[in-house]
C-alpha cells in the first residue's frame, strides 16, 4: 500500500498544483481585463501592473485552492475508475476508504498551510496592494496627518475617546474619555479642556472627573491639572487610520473586536471575518471529503463529467459561504454560526456520502 499511497499523493499534488495555477491565472486575467481601463487611464507602467498582480496572487491562491483540490480528486480518481484500476484494487481486497487516505492527508495538511499563508502572505499583500493602488497608481499624495478633528477612538481597558481636535505632537483639545464597565455602562467620565503627552504620560488641564455609582448617584471632582493614569495610548495611536478587516492581521483584529465590543459598537462584520478566517481553513478538507465519494459514484461519467461536477460543487460551496456571511453581517444569524454553517452543512453531507460510498 505504501507504493499506492505514494503514487496517489504524487498524482493528487501534481494535478492540484496544475489546477491551482490554471484557475489562478484565469482569475488574474479576468481581473486584468476588468481593470485595464483603470491602468491605462492612470498611465500605469508594465512593471507596476506586474507588481500589482504579484501582490494579488496570494489572495487569489487562498481563495481558489479548494477548487484545485476538488478538481484534482475528480481527475485522479476519475481516471482510476475509467481505467478500471479502482475495480482491480477493490477485487484485491483494498477498501475505498484506504484509497482515500492520501487525499484526506492532503486535505488535513491544507488547514495549517492556509492559516499560515493567509496570515503571513495574503493579509500583508492585501495591505500593500491597497497602498499600491492609492499612492503608486492613483498617485495620491502621502499625507502626514498633522491634525484630526472629531476623533472617535476605542482604546484599551474599555475606554472610549471623543476628541474635538488632536495634533500630531501629542495635544488633544476638548476631549471626553468614558470608561465602560463589563455591562458596557459608563462608570467614569473625564471631560477636559486640553491634554498633552509628555514623558510617556498624558497630562490634562481643567478636568472634570465624574464617577457614576450603581445607585445612580454621581461624584464630581474638578482638577486644574491631572495625570491620566492607566492610559497607554500614544499620539501615534490616535493618528493611525484603521485598515479594512481584510488588511488587518488576526491578532490585531481580535484586539479591535474586544475594544469595539466594550464600546458597544456593532461588530458583526468584523466578527464574521474573524471566524471566517478559521472556518475557511477547513474548506480544503471538506471539499476533499465531498469530492471523494462523488468521484467514484459516477463511474460512467468520465473525467470531463467529473471536472464539471467538481466545479459545480465548488461554486455551490462558495455561494453558500457568501449567503451565510450576508446573514451574519445583517444579524439574521450569529456571526460565528454564519462563518461555520457552510462547513457544517457540506461536511455533514460529505460524511453521509462517505458512509454510503461502498453500498
Instruction: Return the pLDDT at 313.
Output: 80
Instruction: Return the pLDDT at 155.
Output: 78
Considering the domain architecture, whether residues 21 and 114 belong to the same structural domain is answered as yes
pLDDT per residue as tens digits for the range 258-300 = 777 766 677 888 889 899 999 999 999 998 998 888 887 765 5
Considering the domain architecture, whether residues 186 and 291 belong to the same structural domain is answered as no
Instruction: Return the pLDDT at 262.
Output: 66
In a domain, 320, yes or no: yes
3-state secondary structure 223-275: EEEEECCCCCCCHHHHHCCCCCHHHCCHHHHHHHHHHHHHCCCCCHHHHHHHH
| DSSP H or E stretch at residue 327 | helix 302-329
User: Helices 2-41 and 101-117 sit at what angle, rounded to 10 degrees?
Assistant: 40
Instruction: Classify residue 338 as exposed, middle or buried by CB count within 10 Å of its CB (0-12, 13-18, 19+).
Output: buried
Considering the domain architecture, whether residues 170 and 124 belong to the same structural domain is answered as no
- Specify the number of domains making up the chain: 2
Instruction: Return the pLDDT at 318.
Output: 84
Considering the domain architecture, whether residues 19 and 123 belong to the same structural domain is answered as yes
Instruction: Return the pLDDT at 4.
Output: 82
Instruction: Return the pLDDT at 194.
Output: 93
The arrangement of strands across the sheet holding 147-154 comes to 147-154, 159-167, 171-180, 186-198, 201-212, 218-227
Considering the domain architecture, whether residues 160 and 130 belong to the same structural domain is answered as no
In a domain, 220, yes or no: yes
**Against a cut of 0.75, is the pTM above it?**
yes
In a domain, 262, yes or no: no
In a domain, 108, yes or no: yes
Considering the domain architecture, whether residues 278 and 222 belong to the same structural domain is answered as no
Considering the domain architecture, whether residues 272 and 129 belong to the same structural domain is answered as yes
In a domain, 34, yes or no: yes
> DSSP assignment of 42-103, as one string?
TT--HHHHHHHHHHHHHHHHHHHHHHHHHHHHHHHHHHHHHTTHHHHHHHTT--HHHHTHHH
Q: Quote the domain boundaries for residue 105.
A: 2-139+268-355
Question: Of 232, 257, 282, at which residue does a domain stop?
Answer: 232
Instruction: Return the pLDDT at 291.
Output: 86
Considering the domain architecture, whether residues 133 and 173 belong to the same structural domain is answered as no
**Alpha-carbon span 43 to 92, nearest angstrom:** 65
Instruction: Return the pLDDT at 276.
Output: 92
Considering the domain architecture, whether residues 20 and 54 belong to the same structural domain is answered as yes
Question: Of 232, 253, 285, at which residue does a domain stop?
Answer: 232
**Alpha-carbon span 171 to 192, nearest angstrom:** 12
Residue 107 DSSP class:
H
In a domain, 249, yes or no: no
Considering the domain architecture, whether residues 133 and 8 belong to the same structural domain is answered as yes
In a domain, 176, yes or no: yes
Considering the domain architecture, whether residues 132 and 13 belong to the same structural domain is answered as yes
In a domain, 253, yes or no: no
Q: List, for the chain, all residue ranges whose pLDDT scores fall below the cut of 50.
A: none
Instruction: Return the pLDDT at 232.
Output: 81
Considering the domain architecture, whether residues 40 and 130 belong to the same structural domain is answered as yes
Instruction: Return the pLDDT at 104.
Output: 92
Amino acid at each position: 500500500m505504501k507504493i499506492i499511497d505514494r503514487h496517489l499523493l504524487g498524482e493528487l499534488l501534481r494535478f492540484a498544483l496544475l489546477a491551482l495555477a490554471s484557475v489562478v491565472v484565469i482569475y488574474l486575467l479576468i481581473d486584468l481585463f476588468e481593470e485595464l481601463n483603470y491602468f491605462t487611464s492612470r498611465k500605469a507602467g508594465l512593471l507596476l501592473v506586474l507588481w500589482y498582480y504579484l501582490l494579488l496572487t496570494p489572495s487569489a491562491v487562498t481563495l481558489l485552492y479548494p477548487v484545485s483540490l476538488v478538481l484534482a480528486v475528480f481527475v485522479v480518481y476519475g481516471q482510476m475508475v475509467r481505467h478500471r484500476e479502482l475495480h482491480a484494487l477493490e477485487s484485491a481486497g483494498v477498501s475505498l476508504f484506504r484509497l482515500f487516505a492520501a487525499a484526506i492527508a492532503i486535505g488535513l495538511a491544507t488547514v495549517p498551510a492556509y492559516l499560515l499563508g493567509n496570515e503571513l502572505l495574503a493579509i500583508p499583500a492585501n495591505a500593500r496592494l491597497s497602498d499600491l493602488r492609492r499612492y503608486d497608481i492613483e498617485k495620491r499624495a502621502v499625507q502626514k496627518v498633522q491634525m484630526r478633528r472629531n476623533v472617535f477612538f476605542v482604546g484599551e481597558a474599555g475606554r472610549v475617546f471623543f476628541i474635538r481636535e488632536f495634533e500630531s505632537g501629542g495635544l488633544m483639545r476638548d476631549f471626553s474619555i468614558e470608561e465602560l464597565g463589563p455591562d458596557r455602562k459608563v462608570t467614569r467620565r473625564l471631560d477636559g479642556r486640553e491634554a498633552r503627552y509628555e514623558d510617556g504620560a498624558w497630562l490634562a488641564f481643567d478636568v472634570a472627573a465624574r464617577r457614576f455609582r450603581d445607585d445612580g448617584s454621581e461624584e464630581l471632582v474638578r482638577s486644574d491639572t491631572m495625570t491620566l493614569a492607566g492610559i497607554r495610548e500614544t499620539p501615534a495611536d490616535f493618528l493611525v487610520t484603521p485598515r479594512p478587516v481584510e488588511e488587518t492581521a488576526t491578532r490585531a483584529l481580535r484586539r479591535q473586536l474586544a475594544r469595539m465590543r466594550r464600546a458597544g459598537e456593532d461588530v458583526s462584520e468584523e466578527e464574521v471575518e474573524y471566524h471566517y478566517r478559521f472556518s475557511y481553513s477547513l474548506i480544503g478538507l471538506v471539499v476533499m471529503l465531498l469530492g471523494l465519494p462523488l468521484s467514484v459514484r459516477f463511474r460512467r461519467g468520465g473525467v470531463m463529467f467529473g471536472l464539471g461536477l467538481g466545479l459545480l460543487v465548488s461554486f455551490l460551496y462558495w455561494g453558500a459561504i457568501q449567503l451565510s456571511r450576508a446573514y451574519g453581517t445583517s444579524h439574521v444569524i450569529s456571526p460565528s454560526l454564519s462563518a461555520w454553517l457552510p462547513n457544517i452543512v457540506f461536511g455533514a453531507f460529505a460524511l453521509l456520502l462517505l458512509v454510503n460510498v461502498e453500498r
